[in-house]
Structure 1
């Protein structure tokens, strides 16, 4: 039996003990690992976007200027999106809406915020939106790859019971009780690890999927047929992976009491729309 603050991957023989959700600074206040990981993701995202700008002959300073606006708006958008679809958790304690240290950022809200910022920024700077989007999307994708590990430290964004190779085991006291299913508890009793749940590490699946997508986009950059194609590849590729991975999760943001997962529907719509636009644009270019 493992103690609290322990995460294990039993089928891989990995046990990580004494892993807290935050660190104490001089004993005066705590900083959540979730926030540290998000900050690291933002920094690395800018570095990768700058690399992409340099290899495509663009001014890197433009992306530093854009990032300063996009980061702020994206975080606000990610929080608003999460709060809107989790309103029952905040309606009786509104001040918690501003408590980002407890987690609660939805990537789609961040993407929407980033796109709005890009549209406004390129209009003011008289730049081509599709070119900026092609470059910025690799930075955004890098941020997502790293940012998902914030869910690992927070013990959230996991799927239902599994015993596959990457199955992850968590203490029931460390997770959101609403995300625990009957099947998890039944299998824990059957497997003699009561007090723990064994789940799909969906944060890991998504992080790996995004890494593969990033590699594909970077390799394809020199071969793109039109400005905006890389951005559409990102939206469609991410949507395809998220549509399947979201279906495994037990803490989905849903449309009221319908049980319909908002992110899963949006992900599938992004995949279909992006694929359709790529095909349309390529056919149009071929005709010309």
Structure 2
């Protein structure tokens, strides 16, 4: 059986290996920033607001993603604390990064006198797009996969052969959970963009729709993964948090609509037409 297995190392610079994972993540972030900046200007924000946020927000998100992973696998890192700083070995959790970014956003918006809900609405579609792209970094690392399956099952999904080949991990074919989540996120991006253009969302609801969509998909996909972080017993951290976010997202959306009859619509008409997403 010949398998066309990808190498997670893209190239070397002065003896330092540069992973495809890093290239894909950085590319996703750059694309997200570009799209968010266009939409920010379209919605009446300053052209540099997104960049200013990301200058601090991106490093904090990386720290948050690492801390989240370490805290929920603390015994491993207590045995060898220096590994906490060894991010090249893996161990970044998207939920931790998002939590850190939102905390910083609260301070950023207050300082810049920007409506936080508007900023979240601008960012949400680009964030889920970046998440969808980022999962291909997991593919290149041969991680974030599911339980054992068969080659025949993967072929029935009509997957390209290079994906099937690279789902042969640890002596068996695996469920491509990275792909399931990537496609779920891409679909979420398209729906958010289309619905946002229809102007059916109230202020803050683009973001809440993102929370609801992503957490719903992540709950089911996380249940298939074999590398989950566990809170206790069979309770997976990401599944529990997904339930909290899904219920909280719906609850907050309905509460805001019920208690504020004058809730403004998400307004995309304040800027120049050249900044249409």
Q: TM-score, normalised by structure 2?
A: 0.84
Deviation at 1:38, TM superposition (A): 1.4
Query: Residue by residue, what CA displacement relative to the aligned partner does 1:97-156 show, whole Å, maximum 9, x if unpaired?
Result: 112222211000011011001001011112211111111222321221111111101111
Aligned to 2:38: 51
SS in 1 for 2:18: strand
SS in 1 for 2:30: helix
Q: Say yes or no: does 1:268 pair with 2:268.
A: no
Aligned to 2:271: none
Query: Residue by residue, what CA displacement relative to the aligned partner does 1:231-260 show, whole Å, maximum 9, x if unpaired?
Result: 10111110011011111111110014x121
Give the conservation status (yes or no) of the 8 Å contact 2:20–2:140.
yes
Deviation at 1:59, TM superposition (A): 2.1
SS in 2 for 1:60: coil
Structure 2: any 5+ residue segments left out of the alignment?
A: 264-277
Runs of 4+ displaced beyond 4 Å: 285-288
SS in 1 for 2:17: strand
In 1: Cα distance, 2:201 partner to 2:173 partner: 45
2:168 to 167, 170, 174: 170
Give the conservation status (yes or no) of the 8 Å contact 1:206–1:242.
yes
Q: TM-score, normalised by structure 1?
A: 0.81
| Aligned positions of 1:202-213 closer than 5 A | 202-213=177-188
Q: Which one is further off, 157-166 or 196-205?
A: 157-166
2:234 to 259, 262, 276: 259
In 2: Cα distance, 1:131 partner to 1:98 partner: 35
| Aligned positions of 1:11-22 closer than 5 A | 17-22=4-9
In 1: Cα distance, 2:201 partner to 2:96 partner: 29
Q: Say yes or no: does 1:220 pair with 2:195.
A: yes
SS in 2 for 1:219: helix
Give the conservation status (yes or no) of the 8 Å contact 1:233–1:274.
yes
Q: Which one is further off, 267-276 or 54-63?
A: 54-63
Q: Say yes or no: does 1:239 pair with 2:215.
A: yes
The count of residues paired between Structure 1 and Structure 2 equals: 251
Q: Say yes or no: does 1:42 pair with 2:29.
A: yes
Structure 1: any 5+ residue segments left out of the alignment?
A: 7-16, 173-195
Aligned to 2:225: 249
Give the aligned CA root-mean-square deviation in angstroms.
Answer: 1.9
Give the conservation status (yes or no) of the 8 Å contact 1:35–1:101.
no
